[in-house]
A = this chain, B = another copy of it.
Amino acid sequence: MKRPTIKDIAAAAGVSKGAVSLALNGRAGVSESTRARVLDVASTLGYRPSVTARALSSASADAVGLVLVRPPRALGDEAFFFQLIAGMQSEMSSALLLQVVSSRDAEIALYQRWWAEHRVDGVFLVDLLVSDPRVELMSSLGLPAVVVGGAGHHGSLASVWADDYAAMTSVVEYLKSLGHRRIARVAGLSSLLHTVRRDQAFESAVDGVIVSGDYTAEAGAAATRSLLGSVEPPTAIVYDNDVMAVAGAEVALSLGVVVPDELSIVAWDDSVLCQHGRLTALSRDTFAFGARAARALLAVVEGASPTDVEDVLPELVVRGSTGVAPGR
């Protein structure tokens, strides 16, 4: 059967070719009843939009990409990313092409494919590694990109970031001012640049134990159990995210360790979880952070020079989980 043309549809529906085009493309300028009739006729005639029509009609992919390397099940609990995505979308009139993959290699391959297939106009890079191959890849592909997080200054890429070093220093200083000397840190993934920055700040500020975690409740609980079971247990623990901190607070409760009398707890990434658990937390407006990242990416896509935007320092919100050190 011959593939029906716009002209065939116009004739059958009794409208102009222009009206058919508007109707098929979801544009304004035709009434809803005309649109419905055109779609009906198009469907009856077996019309399918040409897969090349769009590619030929525009140089823009009309989407930007975000790849997350995470076990999907764990990702669903990370409110941070959904807030970030919501903030990004608040500044974009185009769609977000989102894909969750299981490895860094798969992530790299996906950017290459998206670039080769012209699927995205640019990408957000999150979870920056200490020595991150994506920075070089984006430069060699010439794919506009914004690094979200990290510590700023990534080759020729734009970035939007917060100063994790200064934030960690302020947390430790706060705990020291309450008399804490045995302070521990439950860190996130050690391959991530912001984890290393926080490690460095922590080690400069205090002589304390660092235990690695992977942001899950299980990791937070295990690290806390191990720290509290040691010969000289810490009197304060700083966690790299909200989920691990809440799990840590529950372990303390189950062991009969009273928060904050015997143990102070500080969480990174304030959230409704921290609010309702009354946890002292580092708070920032993740939604606004996402919005800022989107503006930076759209600017680069439109040809602006990449800029390095330092976000406001996260603010320490003191709630019931921190207090003076025991015996002080």
Contact = CB atoms under 8 A, between A and B. Distances in A.
Interface of A: 24-27, 36, 39-40, 43, 48-59, 63, 65, 72-73, 75-79, 81-83, 85-87, 89-90, 94-100, 108-113, 115-119, 137, 140-142, 243, 246, 272-273, 276-277, 286-287
Highest count of chain B CB atoms <10 Å: which of A95, A108, A141: A95
Given A52-B52, A54-B116, A55-B55, A89 B79 contact: no
Contacts of A76: 79, 82-83, 85-87, 286-287
Contacts of A90: 72-73, 100
Given A54-B55, A56-B52, A100 B86 contact: yes
A17 to B, nearest CB: 15
Contacts of A246: 272, 276
Contacts of A112: 24-26
A236 B99 CA distance: 42
B49 A52 contact: no
Say how many copies of this protein the assembly contains.
2
Contacts of A111: 26
Interface centre among A72, A90, A243 (most CB of B within 10 A): A72
A160 to B, nearest CB: 17
A83 B25 CA distance: 32
A87 B289 CA distance: 25
Nearest to A279: B276
B98 A89 contact: yes
Contact of A26 (B59, B75, B82, B108): B108
A116 B49 contact: yes
Given A55-B55, A119-B54, A26 B109 contact: yes
Given A50-B118, A51-B56, A51-B118, 20 more contacts: A26-B108, A39-B137, A43-B140, A43-B141, A49-B115, A54-B119, A55-B55, A63-B97, A72-B90, A73-B287, A75-B89, A76-B87, A77-B272, A79-B82, A82-B82, A94-B99, A95-B119, A96-B98, A246-B272, A246-B276
A98 B79 contact: no
Contacts of A95: 65, 97-99, 119
Contacts of A119: 54, 63, 95
Given A49-B116, A75-B86, A81-B82, A39 B276 contact: no
Contact of A89 (B82, B86, B99): B99
The listed residue with most B CB atoms (<10 A of its CB), out of A26, A63, A75, is A26
Nearest to A50: B118
Contacts of A82: 75-76, 78-79, 81-82
29 contacts: A24-B116, A25-B113, A26-B110, A26-B111, A26-B112, A26-B115, A27-B109, A39-B141, A51-B56, A51-B58, A53-B118, A54-B119, A63-B97, A65-B95, A72-B87, A72-B89, A72-B90, A72-B287, A73-B287, A76-B82, A76-B85, A76-B287, A79-B79, A79-B82, A85-B98, A95-B97, A95-B98, A95-B119, A273-B276
